[in-house]
Structure 1
Amino acid sequence: MTPSDEPLLTIEGLTVSYGPVEAVDGIDLTVKRGEIVTLLGANGAGKSSTLNALVGLAPRKANRLVFAGIDLLGLPPETIVRRGMTLVPEGRRVFASLTVEENLILGGAKHAKRGNPAAVKADMLARFPILAERLHQKAGLLSGGEQQMLAIGRALMSSPDLLLLDEPSLGLAPQVVDAIFDLIRDLRDQGLTILLVEQNVAQSLEIADRGYVLANGRIELQGSAAELRASPEIQNAYLGA
């Protein structure tokens, strides 16, 4: 799918503070429909705080925080999910004591009063055959890669318009990482908009349309993926040039 010029998400002056510590310092960014935008930066740069703030899981202030024409400021996380934005958190955070099926059902809870959650679940199991094989297994017994697939599948159960992915390749074997990036690309090609935080800068810039580089809570660089790959700062800091 070719990205449109219509911004799905507009952020102006987003600040995230934890007591006296300011993790995000007044950043501006946009995400257009149908594109992958990646947030890059060192640990502690404010990337995860940005994603958590978007879904109402971190204390936030902003001049403007608009998603699909809706002002997100003041909305609780459950309302934001119902509006079409969902987060796959760092570390996967599946419900270990619940089965794969129960995790998926929880992800689709917003469909309880509308739509067809059974049909959404069937589509998800067709997309992730390994989850169909493990359907009645406890999520805590899955491998790291299987848990990541479950975390993504659980998020997709809410039929989001914007998927926030926080370090989806963290701690996974290289072949599993490749499969995760193929999945992210496929989701974008099928029309899903994605905001990606990822430690693997090279692979992120291979699949992204645009990117922002955060440092100390501020945006230091931004541009197309090609522009960022060619940037001396990016090459020296992340690509081993």
Structure 2
Amino acid sequence: MMTNAIPSSGHLLEVSGLRVAYGAVEALKGVDLTVGKGQIVTLLGANGAGKSSTLNALVGLAAKKAGRVVFDGHDISGLAPEQIVRCGMTLTPEGRRIFPSLTVDEHLMLGGAMHKARGNIAEVREDMLERFPILKERLGQKAGSLSGGEQQMLAIARAMMSSPDLLLLDEPSLGLAPQVVDLIFDLIAGLRQRGLTILLVEQNVSLSLDIADAGYVMANGRVVLAGTAAELRNSSEIRGAYLGA
């Protein structure tokens, strides 16, 4: 039977009672969740459920009204976004948010500015170019001239330049062709295989559950269901609402 808790050996992220308001509108109403080290955990739910607000609050981009965020054993609830990145958590935002007039290489170096050990930036950059060979071919190219899939790869590589322990991914398949979506999801799965922990918000529920270890379902700013990926896939609520069964 599913509950609102996901068992894990060694939580990298523990969130309790997270509340966020935009003016008089309360977007998050006491969210609790955990992400275990090395896991992919997905947040599911309809538009407006609070998924993006959760990610933004975790990295300090949405003002927290209440709640506690513990990352790698440290309370980071009151830290600024740049401090959170240096702690090892970073976000690839919805819509990619690339700078059209900057080159691919300038984006990578921008992402590396928050690296915990600046002497390793060149090494990390080379690693990114190995993981994303298409970006190596486009290093001097303006990011605005890239395809949607290439821009998404750049957004992920930019976030990875800080060498995070936890990557937050917000709608990585948004607006992409199906074959490119498959490529992006293969990439995400490959990042996990190399030890990265990922918290994923994604509109494609089926693909999310294919690569995730566990997930939470959100509605109206609250977690309403949680379980392993297999449990969620077999849930009648999930099948009826998202999987067309």
Bin for the TM-score computed over the shorter chain: over 0.9
Would you identify which runs of 4 or more consecutive aligned residues in structure 1 move more than 6 Å? none
Q: In the alignment, which residue of structure 2 is the partner of 1:208?
A: 212
TM-score in terms of structure 2 length: 0.95
Select 1:192's aligned residue among 174, 191, 196: 196
Aligned partners of 2:227 and 2:83: how far apart in 1?
31
1:27 to 28, 31, 41: 31
Partner of 1:40: 44
Q: What are the superposed Cα offsets for residues 65-87 of structure 1, whole Å, 9 maximum, x if unpaired?
A: 10011111110000000000000
Structure 1 equivalent of residue 111 of structure 2: 107
Q: Are positions 1:139 and 2:139 aligned together?
A: no
* Pairs aligned (count): 239
Question: Which residue in the other structure is 1:67 paired with?
Answer: 71
2:120 corresponds to 1:119: no
Structure 1 gaps of 5+ residues are: none
Tell me by how many angstroms 1:100 deviates. 0.2
Query: Matched residues in 1 for 2:28 and 2:199: separation?
Result: 16
Task: Confirm or deny: 8 A CA contact 2:50 2:221 kept in the other structure.
Answer: yes
| Counterpart position of 2:243 | 239
Larger mean CA deviation between 133-142 and 114-123 belongs to 114-123
Q: CA deviation at 1:113?
A: 5.6
Superimposed CA distance per residue, residues 160-207 of structure 1 (whole angstroms, 9 cap, x where no aligned partner): 000000000000000000001101111111100000000000000000
Structure 2: how far apart are the matches of 1:141 and 1:83?
Answer: 33
Q: Which moved more, 1:103-112 or 1:128-137?
A: 103-112
Question: Identity, % of aligned pairs?
Answer: 74
CA contact (8 A) 2:115 2:163 kept: no
Asked whether 1:167 is paired with 2:171, we answer: yes
Task: Please state if 1:178 is matched with 2:182.
Answer: yes
Counterparts of 1:113 and 1:89, CA distance in 2? 24
Relative distance call for 1:112 and 1:72 in structure 2 (3 A) is closer
Give the deviation of 1:121 after TM superposition.
0.5
CA distance in 1 between counterparts of 2:240 and 2:172 reads: 24
Contact 1:14 1:27 in 2 (8 A): yes
Give the CA RMSD over aligned residues.
Answer: 1.2
Query: How far is 1:131 from its partner?
Result: 0.3
Q: 1:123 & 1:18 partners in 2: Cα distance?
A: 39
Asked if residue 8 in structure 1 is aligned to residue 12 in structure 2, the reply is yes
Q: Name the SS of the counterpart of 2:174 in structure 1.
A: coil
- Identify if the C-alpha distance between structure 1 residues 112 and 85 changes in structure 2 by more than 3 Å, giving closer, same or farther: closer
Question: Do 1:100 and 1:137's aligned partners in 2 also have CA atoms closer than 8 Å?
Answer: yes
Q: Report the equivalent of 2:4.
A: none
CA gap 1:101/1:19 in 2 versus in 1, 3 angstroms:
same
Cα shift readout 1:21-60 (whole Å, capped 9, x = no counterpart): 0111101000000000000000000000000000000011
Task: In structure 2, list runs of 5 or more residues that go unmatched.
Answer: 1-6
1-structure distance, mates of 2:151, 2:189: 19
CA distance in 2, matches of 1:162, 1:132: 24
Q: Is the 8 A contact 1:107 1:158 kept in 2?
A: yes
Distance 1:126 1:85 in 2: 22
Conserved 8 A contact 2:112-2:158: yes
